[in-house]
Every structure is written in structure tokens, then in C-alpha cells.
Amino acid sequence: MSGEDAPAQNQQQAEEKVQQEPKDQSAEESPSEPQQEPQPAATETADAPPAATDDKAPEEEVFTYRSLVLTGYGGYDKVKLQIKKGLPSPKSGEVMVRVKACGLNFAELLGRQGLYERLPSPPVTPGMECSGVIEAVGEEVTDRKVGDSVLVLGRCGLWQEVVVVQADHTFPMPEGMSYEEAAALPINYITAYMMLFELGNLRPNQSVLVHMAAGGVGIAATQLCHTVTDVTVFGTASASKHEVISQGGVNHPIDYRTRDYVEEIRKISPKGLDIILDPLGGSDTQKAFNLLKPMGTLIVYGAANRLTGQKKNLLALAKSWYNQFSINAVSLMHANKAICGFHLGYLDDEFPLIARVLNTLLELYTQGKIKPRIDSTYHFEQVGDAMRRMQERNNIGKVILFPEPKKEEPKAEEDQKESTKENKNEETKNAIQTEEEPKKEGEETKQEQS
Amino acid sequence: MSGEDAPAQNQQQAEEKVQQEPKDQSAEESPSEPQQEPQPAATETADAPPAATDDKAPEEEVFTYRSLVLTGYGGYDKVKLQIKKGLPSPKSGEVMVRVKACGLNFAELLGRQGLYERLPSPPVTPGMECSGVIEAVGEEVTDRKVGDSVLVLGRCGLWQEVVVVQADHTFPMPEGMSYEEAAALPINYITAYMMLFELGNLRPNQSVLVHMAAGGVGIAATQLCHTVTDVTVFGTASASKHEVISQGGVNHPIDYRTRDYVEEIRKISPKGLDIILDPLGGSDTQKAFNLLKPMGTLIVYGAANRLTGQKKNLLALAKSWYNQFSINAVSLMHANKAICGFHLGYLDDEFPLIARVLNTLLELYTQGKIKPRIDSTYHFEQVGDAMRRMQERNNIGKVILFPEPKKEEPKAEEDQKESTKENKNEETKNAIQTEEEPKKEGEETKQEQS
């Protein structure tokens, strides 16, 4: 919980969004400017250049936009919806993007607990991927223009209604791709692709173990495995998800909760496996290493075993650390095995490589070979529910965040919830609605449709 | 030096070959059958089926053949030339090969010191690769016939005039390949190929560090690197070898004896390298790991640093062990690097994979893309010189052993020594000649030419 006392910088806290934590809020900036008008600004400019903002709402002199801010380390409530002021404008080489959808990643769950070293200290806006429409273009940007739909990749800071980013961190969305898909693709698919093809050297007829096969990376990895001939995918997931992941390409779904996955795999593939993707860490890494065939490759890319509850679990951390896999060169030689580490967050300096991979992935999307599976969508004010869903591993596929406020109309809600049937209760429980929103949203809906 | 007291089993010690060590010999079997007639048997059947042996030398009832035997752990003198009795005959699925040339590998240098766990205890015949002509075929062998020129791959036991091996451990020699090349290719090129392509995933535009670039694996790796577009090879070797390895494809030869190779490489490639092949072990493995680019791959395949003198060096072993590289999963993740171990000797169970790789290599040879470089050739009785040459790292390319006795005629010698100019002094110093050989060889030469 360290860092909780950090001030909220220049950001306005949206009072009604944080009414569950009045004590946290008291230490932060005055909620003098409540969010009474963020939505108009947010939505009315969605399909128009930013200059349009000045024409509307003449009573509002300051442009505001919604932003999620990690205010300190801890539980789901530490990520708060705040209203930021001032229209950000792109400098040379930058573009401003009106964000339509954002991806939620494990890194943000870890970051909330203070376990993700690559996220700056709170207060900070998380978010490594989003999609949206370019609304302003800085000087010397020649290959992007206002109105372009793009997906955006960044180190953090993308969970906002508008973001200003380097133009070369945006990628044109292929035709037919939804904003949800565009926000779901970058981190999960780049991670899966780089592991399987840059490190793992996946080839025809090989076997791959995908842990957490129903997660974002798991689904991406499964799809990417099947871009290679006759690859067999073993996937761990709880039994309730097996049907979906089987349809998605997992040849051997294994219920890790009721079975010993090592035994189950040995029954099917006695010699072991060619590639194992390990997002778990701790003692599972040793199991994975033993489960490799000679000449097999283990790729460690996470420590999900460290994430056992809403808040940092020191016992789980200690256990994961104590059980951490370590190996020396001679043992590796005698085993004829490879072990790789992958952490996209530490590849900042390799952006050209990452961009090349992302372009390859967009091409695979266009060819119909990959397609992100959207598990559920939440609005910014529901970020706690979104994080809970992922952290409790209830998702099958990607959890998406919408910057725009949740609408109350039954019709609109139906649209948004088409893939979120399972989390209805959570939503009800966690939804923090503003009283004023419905009528404003009604107005905006009209404007949007005009 | 443990194991030195092991008896020499059923093998006859060739007395005059070991006259340098009378004390060792005293404990071994009686030299009642000196080598007066091994050469005739050896050479007269070289181009004929084994049945021919019975027609010649009617005074000799027992077929004998020359074999190198590791009699105990220690210096170069521990590998002795012995005469074995009895014509080996192939069982079902086997073939008998008249050996023309054998390859010398680092494993045998380590094995002589008791540092190669995959070599059975002495007395044992080393030798993992050879080439020759099939002289007899067992039942159920359909794809090999008498007279086929083949290269042979085995775990040990191939340093003999005749060997009986499983037919599927023999591979037809491509047209135009010499017996020396055929004996030089398997271990070095399989090792280099599997590291670069099965583990390392070498791709266009990458950079590779090849340590001991003038060694057998080094030269193989350099050639194989250049089967991929625009690969840059950094190679360490002493300055006197730079011209040759440059011609062989090393783009940046580095004299590791007078320069800090890490510094030299950083000057040329500040970000580091994509793939590093590490046959050294000890502290060089850590240096290599640091020298990798993000997403780079280190492949550890030896511990040459443990081999510092003719006999086992406990200090070098301890130092190498103490400095041994070890890493944990989290450090690997943060580095975004891969570390692999490779040891062909521990891949016995993966023979189908190895056979596939060897067939690929023979295809590359046929296409003119690879060609083993023969450093020097020695006869069995010169095995000590051969080992010394390799262990003292004087070789550039492969050191080859000929089962047939060294001939004394100036003309024949010239042929054999065309690539061994550098080791004339060694040969003179270490050659242990039998007094009776010259005249017998003279006779045999005639027979061979008929």
C-alpha cells in the first residue's frame, strides 16, 4: 500500500466516482470542478476535429476529459476516475487521439499492487494500449491525418478520453476491425507473437503449452500457434472455459484446478512438449522446465502466482520468490533445453522491432488468421469491476475499458453488454453512477447520431 | 588420473606403439601378438568385401584390426593404438564399415581427462564420427549395400579400422565429398546447425559471436551463418588465424589473446549481438549474456575453459565451476534474453532429429553452401600429436585421424601432409614408428594400386 499518500497532481478527482473512498479523497485536490460536463466534451468531439470543442458549450471555457488514475497501491479502489483540464495539443511528431477503447492487462493489476516496476509511481494514469480517432496532428507528421482510426501502443497513460502520443506509436486500424478489437490486440498479440516466433521459433508439428489459455495472451497464443501447420496446443483453464477455448483452437484443454496438469500432459505426450509459455512463475516454472522435450523452449513471461488477491499478498510473493526457478549453464547443457524471459515492458528501446511485429499482426488480422476475443467491456467508472473480473480469472479473452460514460438506456446497455453476460452481478454491485449522467447522456446520444 | 589402472580387456596392445610408457604396459595384457601383420589386413580389404581377407595371408588365421583405446584418464599418452582380433560381423540391422577417416572432437579431449560423462569408463574406444566403405551388411538392411561410401555417427567406438554400427547411423556420402570431409562434418556441423537453427532461430540481418572461430564448430558455424542473408559474424581466434577465418566468412575477427573481446565487439555493435555461441563456460558465459541484445540468445555448448592442459587441471575446474553462470527466471524476464544449453552427447534419444539435421547438412554440402575445412590429418599412431594440436588450439578446422598406418615413402607422405604443414615438427617429435612397417607398407601399396 506504499505510495497511497501521493497527491493527485494536476488532476481533478471526479467526486461522485470515488464516493466509496472519502478518506482517500480528502487528502487530494479539491473537487471544485465536478464532472458535470466531461461527457459533452468527450463525446461531441469524437467525430470532429478538436477545434469543434470551442463551438459547443460556450459556458465551459476549459476543455476537460476523463482519465483513470492510479492514486496509490492497493485494491481495486485505488484506480479512480478523474477529470483532467486543458486540451492537450500535439507537439511536433505527435498526434492527439480521441480514445474509443482501452485494453486492460495483467501489468495494470500488478501495477495497482506496486508489483510492476515499469509503471511510474502514483499518481499515474495506467494504460498501454488503446484505439481511437486522430483529432489533431502535430508538425512533421506526414503519414497520419485527422480522422484516421488507429490503435495506440504506449508504456502507460492511455486510459484517458484523449491522449497525445508520438505518431509512430499509432498504427492504422485495418478495415473491418472494431475499436474493441483494436484495443485488445497490441499487448496480448505482440507478447504471444514475440514469444512464439522471436524466441520460441515455433515450427510445424510442434507442441505448445499455453497456461491461462482463456486469458488475453492465451487466446492470442492459441490463434498464433495455428498459423503454423500441425501445431498441437495444450491449454490450462478452469473447466467452465473449456468449450470456448476448444473452439478457439486449444486441442487439449486441461483443468488445472482439479487435475495435475503435468500428469495430464504426460499421458498425451509422454516425451514432453516443445514450447511452454509460463505466465505463472514460482514452482510452475520448474514444472515447465521438466516438462520440456530435449531441444524444447520454456518462455517465462509473468509471475501471475504472485497475484493472489486484491491487495499485495506478501506470503504469495515470498512463496513465488522462494520457488523461483534458477538454473546454471552446465545443467542447461545436459538438459539440451532453452529458457527465455520475456517482458514487453522492458523492451522500450526496441520499438522498431515491436512496430514490425505489430504490423505483421495487423496483416494476419487482415488475412483472417487472428481475431481478438472480447470477453467484456466496462466503462471507466467500472474499472474496479473490470480489474476484478480479470484478477479473479473470470474472463475468456480481453477485458476492454470505454472512456465514455456508461449509458443508462436499456437499448444502449444491451449493446455494450453483449459479451458480458457473466458479470452482471459484479456490475450491479460495483457500478458507481452519477445522478446527473443519464439526462446528459441522452443529449449526447442525439448529438452523436446527428 | 583415476581409472588409469583399468585393464585393457580383450584388446591387444600394440607393443611398439606404447614403448614410451613401459610402466603402464606392464600391468596390461601380454603383448604376445605384436602388430606384425595388422596393416596387411587393414589395407588389403579396404576396397574389397571382407571375405577377401581369407584369401590373403594364409598364415594368419585371425583377422586383426587397429583400434585406438583410451586406457585410463590423463595425458595424450593414455590413448593407445591396440590390435583387436576377430572379424566383427554385422547383426540384423547393422553394417560393417571399413573406416577411412575419423574426426577428433573436443569431447575426446575432455574424455581423456575424465571430464566427459558420456564416454564409458576406460578401457574404451573413443570416436563419434568416421567415414568409410560398407564391407558387410546384416539382415534386414535394405537401404545400404557393400561398397557404399558412408559417414557414420555414434556415441563412441569409431576410432577403429573396422566398425559395426546400426545401418541407420550411416549416411551416404554425397558425390565429390572426400573421406576426410565426411569424417569432419557430422559432429561439428550438427552442433553448429542445431544451435543456430533449432535453438538460436538465426534470421537475416542478425549478428552472431562465434568463439574459437578457427575450431571445427567455429568454422561450421561461420559457414552456416552465411546460409542466411546478411548475417554478421564476429569470431574470436588468435591473430595468426585471422586471415584464414576472414576468408571463411568471419566479418570481424577478434584476437581474444591481446584484446578484450567484449570491448572490441561493443565498438562495432554498441547494442550487442543477437546470438552468441559459448563453448568456453566459466566467466565467459556471464560476459556473453551481458553482450546480448534484448531478445538475443546465448547458447552454451561447452566448457573449454576447463581444459587448460594435457592433464586434468583441478584449479581450472574449480575456477570454471565457481564462475559458472546461473540465472533466475525474473532476471531473465527483465533482460528479455534467452539462454540455451546444447550438448549433442545428451541427445541420444533424439536420433531421428539428428538424422534429419545431418541429411539437411549433406544437402547443403551438395549445394556448395558448406564445406568442412581439414586442418590436418594424422594416423592412429599419431593420435597424441593430433590431440595436442587441437588442445593447444593450433588447428584451423578439423583434425582428422586415419586408421591406416603412416607410410614412409616421401611421395605418399606428401599427399597426406598437404594440409598439415604447420605440424611437421610435432609429427617428427611424436611419431612412433614400427621398424617392420616400411617394407610391409611397400607391399601393400602395390596391392592397393592394383
pLDDT in tens, B393-445: 899 999 999 999 998 765 544 444 444 444 444 443 333 333 333 333 333 33
Query: B167 to each of A2, A177, A194, A322, B102, how far by Cα in Å?
Result: 68, 57, 41, 50, 18
Q: Are residues B136 and B239 in the same domain?
A: no
Partners of A297 on chain B (C-beta within 8 Å) are 199, 338, 340
Q: Are residues A158 and A143 in the same domain?
A: yes
Distance from CA of B298 to the nearest CA of A (A): 9
Query: Which three cell numbers mark B168?
Result: 541407420
pLDDT at B377 over 90: yes
Are A191 and A179 members of one domain? no
Neighbours of A359 (CB within 10 A): 12
pTM above 0.95, yes or no: no
Same domain, B263 and B304: yes
**Alpha helices of A312-436 — where are they, by DSSP H?**
314-322, 329-335, 351-366, 383-391, 410-416, 424-430
**Nearest by CB: B349 against A294, A328, A331:** A294
Note if the bond before A123 is cis, omega within 30 degrees.
yes
Residue A35 resides in a domain: no
Specify if A396 maps to a domain.
Answer: no
Question: Is residue B104 domain-resident?
Answer: yes
Distances (CA, A) of A124 to A8, A23, A154, B259: 8, 19, 14, 47
Q: Is B228 on the interface with A (CB under 8 A)?
A: no
Q: Find all residues with CB under 8 Å of B450, minimum gap 6, and list them.
A: none
Q: Give the torsion through C-alpha atoms of A28, A32, A38, A41, to 10 deg.
A: -120
Q: DSSP letters of A91-145? A: -TTEEEEEEEEEE--HHHHHHHTT--TTSPSSSB---SEEEEEEEEE-TT--S--
The 3-class SS string of B30-44 reads CCCCCCCCHHHHHHH
Candidate from A119-123, B85-89, B181-185, B305-309 with smallest mean pLDDT: B305-309
Do A200 and A339 belong to one domain? yes
How far lies B349's CA from each of A265, A270, A328, B157, B170, in Å? 20, 13, 23, 18, 17
Task: With cut-offs at 50, 70 and 90, classify the pLDDT of residue B328.
Answer: confident
Give the residue from B316, B284, B298, B288 showing the smallest Cα distance to B391: B316
Neighboring chain B residues of A328 at a CB cutoff of 8 Å: 324-326
On whether both B281 and B151 belong to a single domain, the answer is no
Cβ distance B115 to B135 under 8 Å? no
Domain with B128 in it: what CATH number? 3.90.180.10
pLDDT at position A6: 32
Is B277 touching A (CB cutoff 8 A)? no
- Amino acid identity, residue A174? P
**Residue B430: predicted pLDDT:** 32
What does the radius of gyration of chain B's CA atoms come to, in whole angstroms?
22
Determine, yes or no, domain membership for A87.
yes
CB contact under 8 A, A300 and B346: no
Nearest to A80 by CA among A181, A8, A32: A8
Query: pLDDT band for position B314 (50/70/90)?
Result: confident
The answer to whether residue B37 sits within a structural domain is no
CA A392 to the chain's CA centroid: 15
Number of Cβ pairs closer than 8 Å across A and B? Answer: 129
Do A178 and A193 sit in the same domain of this protein?
no
Nearest by CB to residue B329, choosing from A324, A333, A353, is A324
- If asked whether residues A150 and A208 sit together in one domain, one would say no
Minimal CA–CA distance to A286: which of A305, A269, A267, A308?
A305
**B347 touches A: beta carbon within 8 Å:** yes
Of A329, A347, A353, the CB nearest to B325: A329
Q: Looking at the domain assignment, is residue A386 inside a domain?
A: no
Report the percentage of chain A scoring pLDDT > 70: 75
Nearest Cα to Cα of residue A11 among A47, A62, A48, A65: A65
Interface membership of A204 toward B (CB under 8 Å): no
Q: A125, A149, A183 — which closes off a domain? A: A183
The H helix count followed by the E strand count for chain A is 17, 17
pLDDT tens profile A124-141: 999 999 999 999 999 999
pLDDT tens for each residue of B155-166:
999 999 999 999
Grid cell locating B370: 558448406
DSSP state of A269: -
CATH number for A333: 3.40.50.720
> Which pLDDT tens digit goes with each residue over A366-389?
999 999 999 999 999 999 999 999
Q: Kindly determine whether residue A342 and residue B336, on different chains, have CB atoms separated by under 8 Å.
A: yes
Domain that holds residue B304: 187-347
Distance CA B370, CA B223 (A): 6
Q: Chain B within 8 Å of A329 (Cβ-Cβ)? A: yes
Whether residue B78 lies inside any domain: the answer is yes
Cα separation, B141 vs A395, whole angstroms = 57
Count of CB atoms situated within 10 Å of the CB of B286: 17
Distance (Å, whole) CA B450 – CA B447: 5
**Domain ends where: A163, A183, A203?**
A183
Query: What pLDDT is attached to residue B181?
Result: 98
Whether A281 has its CB under 8 Å from any CB of chain B: the answer is yes
Q: Are residues B313 and B340 in the same domain?
A: yes
Starting at the edge strand that comes first in sequence, how are the strands of the sheet with B207-210 ordered?
A252-254, A232-236, A207-210, A273-278, A292-300, A338-341, B338-341, B292-300, B273-278, B207-210, B232-236, B252-254
In a domain, B123, yes or no: yes
- Quote ipTM for the complex: 0.77
Cell numbers at B299, concatenated: 547458447
Do A148 and A213 lie in one domain? The reply is no
Dist CA B391 CA B395 (whole Å): 9
d(CA A192, nearest CA chain B) in Å: 14
Look at residues A295, A317, A347 and tell me which one is the last residue of a structural domain.
Answer: A347
Asked if A347 lies within 8 A of B330 by C-beta distance, the reply is no
Task: Answer whether A343 sits within 8 Å of B334, measured CB to CB.
Answer: yes
Q: Does one domain contain both A196 and A343? A: yes
Cα angle value B205/B211/B215 (rounded, 5°): 110
Q: What is the pLDDT of residue B66?
A: 96
Phi, psi dihedrals of residue A384, rounded to the nearest 5°:
-60, -45
Collect all residues of chain A within an 8 Å Cβ-Cβ radius of residue B194.
295
Taking CB atoms and an 8 Å limit, are A324 and B341 in contact across chains? no
Tell me how many domains chain B contains.
Answer: 2
Pick from B37, B74, B73: nearest CA to B58? B37
The pLDDT score that the predictor gives to residue A411 is 53
What is the chain A residue with the closest CA to B345?
Answer: A334
Check A329 against B295: CB less than 8 A apart: no
Q: Which residues of A touch B294 (CB under 8 A)?
A: 346-347, 349-350
B336:A343 CB<8 A: yes
A198, A326, A336 ranked by CB distance to B343: nearest: A336
End-to-end CA distance of chain A: 47
| B111 and B204 assigned to the same domain | no
